[in-house]
Amino acid sequence: IARELGDDTLVASTLSSIGNAFQAAGRSEEALEYYEQAIALVANLGPSRSHAVFLENSAVSLRTLERHAEALDHYERAATMYRTVGSTADEATAVRGAARSLKALIGVLRWQQVVFKQDHREAILELGREALGVLDARDYPQQRAAAISAILADGGTVEDNVFDGLLDRSPD
């Protein structure tokens, strides 16, 4: 009916709801297909909370599928859109999702360091900077402090942590 009425936003919401059902059933790949269709339908309609929700939903599926770089991109786009439409609480949720995706990317790089003896120290440090930059850009001092704590907890002690260089900026 929504298609017949030409209401792309309603069609996109319906597609996203179908995606939610697939995601809840643990079928993230199928969920992602529906979220991508929803995003495509509203892409030319300008920023909206609905569009941001579709981006964030797709980010959850991407993270579940361990496609962390793509998830990060979707979370960041969602956070920016939430900010544009004035939805501060939703923006904070998307920023936390972006931080989790960054942490997962860092974990993958650390695993590669151990297993393949690849030196990803600079890449890990850059991802850490990016995580803190996302939080700084949005003025989230408490989340920034929590991110530093999580990074340290995940990576070991301050003395042997790859993020030592980030600690010269004290949390607010």
Cα dihedral: 88, 140, 104, 110 (round 10): 170
Rounded to whole angstroms, the Cα distance separating 4 from 11 reads: 10
Percent of the chain with pLDDT over 70: 59
Instruction: Report d(CA 137, CA 32) in Å as an integer.
Output: 28
CA angle 51, 56, 60 (to 5 degrees): 150
Q: Is 95 a residue whose pLDDT tops 90?
A: no
What was the pLDDT predicted at 86?
Answer: 92
Pairwise CA distance, residues 84 & 51, whole Å: 12
Among 9, 34, 41, smallest CA distance to 20 is for 34
pLDDT score, position 121: 66
Would you say the C-alpha torsion 149, 151, 153, 156 has a positive or negative sign? negative
**pTM, full prediction:** 0.70
52-94 per-position pLDDT tens digit: 999 999 999 999 999 988 998 899 899 999 999 999 888 888 8
Q: Between helices 68-85 and 88-116, what is the axis angle to 10°?
A: 160
Q: What is the pLDDT of residue 26?
A: 96
Q: What is residue 25's predicted lDDT score, i.e. its pLDDT?
A: 97
